Amino acid sequence: MLWVQTSRVRCRGRCVTKLVKFYLLVKSSRIDEIMKRRQQGKRDRPEKVVAPDERVGLEEAKRASVGQLLFKCARQIDELAIARLRETPGLEGLRRVHTNLFPHIDLEGTRLTQLAARVGISKQAVGQLVDELVELGGLERVADPHDGRAKLIRFRRRGGRFVLMQGLDTLREIEGELEAELGAAQMRSLHAALLRLAGILEVREPAPR
């Protein structure tokens, strides 16, 4: 009889232990869930709104920066040109990341490794963009005359004319519209200043790493 009572006590003890463990497990899970919800709430919480005086100061600094204005104008002109080029059959998939490659490609052709270094992104990322531009008909891969194992990326010709010229024609069209707004004299002065600035910056351009 004593053995039976002892067994019951042990059984109850084990049951209590299991219940306590189960309770602690559930409590721990709820705590984890609560913490996750709190963290999610912090991530979903909007960032602090910029104060009005801070916004005014930032906008004034941006307007006073020639470099910032050049960036902004270049982006806006690029977007206008791409929107018009997309109306051409076969160029519906053209994007800004594609046109960002164009200034870094030599007319004689550029190797993929050189292009990646100039643009500042990985060789794999540039390779994918080049593949897309080859499919769009803007670029082509040809054998490097100095190294048969290497390939050059260059602008494709269509009808004896660089496909790049289509983009330049679109830019000239936009420039004509801007000249009508600014006036011929201001447009000529802007062009002359940009040519001089480009020459100065080319000398200072750091060598690719």
Q: Residue 190 is inside which H or E element, if any? A: helix 184-204
pLDDT computed for residue 171 by the predictor: 94
Encode burial over 52-72: b for 16+ CB neighbours within 10 A, e otherwise. Answer: eeeeeeeeeeeeeeeeeeeee
Helix, strand or coil for residue 51? coil
Q: Residue 10: is its pLDDT beyond 90?
A: no
Average pLDDT, the chain: 81
Report all structural domains of the chain as residue ranges with CATH numbers, in order of start: 64-204 (1.10.10.10)
Give the pLDDT band (50/70/90) at residue 6: very low
Q: How confident is the model at residue 36 (pLDDT cuts 50, 70, 90)?
A: low
Q: What is the pLDDT of residues 172-189, one digit of tens each?
A: 999 999 999 999 999 999
Instruction: State both tokens at 16.
Output: 């209590």
Pairing mode, if any, of strands 147-155 and 157-158? unpaired
Percent of the chain with pLDDT over 90: 50
